[in-house]
A and B are shown apart, each in its own frame.
Chain A
Amino acid sequence: NAGVTQTPKFQVLKTGQSMTLQCAQDMNHEYMSWYRQDPGMGLRLIHYSVGAGITDQGEVPNGYNVSRSTTEDFPLRLLSAAPSQTSVYFCASSSGRISGANVLTFGAGSRLTVL
């Protein structure tokens, strides 16, 4: 199993450009989420989804859009990139059961630089 796959691993954008970070999981997980990691800030939740067709905002959603048309995919879109969006982005998924035993499986991360 590939787990959680993020593409691209690295990307450089100019201010105002748009792009999509791709995230795919092959574990049939219901729950998927996007975090950003900035130096000295830990990881902060951007958006999450509890199933196909359902998305919600996290702690830092501004400037990002998401959609969940399939169970497997959860892309993160930057419509007009800003230097403040320079960060490392992580996609994570879990089976979504409320038992609490579930652990988030993280992708390898995508480093985005906005000039």
Chain B
Amino acid sequence: AQTVTQSQPEMSVQEAETVTLSCTYDTSESDYYLFWYKQPPSRQMILVIRQEAYKQQNATENRFSVNFQKAAKSFSLKISDSQLGDAAMYFCAYRSLQGGSEKLVFGKGTKLTVNP
């Protein structure tokens, strides 16, 4: 079974600075998807960014980008120009392509604090 590990329970960053959240995963599959979800205090799960394993190019979405290292099974999230609204729990998630399922395996999350 796949596992997802987020080794940083908490992180903090100064407003306008850059922060990187770590995520590693374990799988024997060659094709899969990886996601970062944001959960603000409102509790709503919001997709931040996704990466398809067969694509070598790292995904980017405005101030959010990933560093996808397939061989190392690493999928870190970089937030540039951090804003107060970025404060939230961030979850890394893995999705297998086998079986046609939409099942996600989540990491335990990283709580990001943004200091003004």
Contact = CB atoms under 8 A, between A and B. Distances in A.
Interface stretch (B63-71, B79-87, B102-110): B102-110
A48 B101 CA distance: 9
B52 interface: yes
Contact of B50 (A35, A103, A108): A103
Q: Is the contact region of chain A dominated by helix, strand, or loop, or is it mixed? A: strand
Interface in B76-116: 91, 93, 95, 97, 100-109
A100 B33 contact: yes
Given A41-B108, A43-B106, A44-B106, A109 B43 contact: yes
A50 B91 contact: no
Contacts of A48: 101-103
Interface stretch (A63-71, A74-82, A88-96): A88-96
B11 interface: no
Contact of B103 (A58, A88, A103, A106): A58
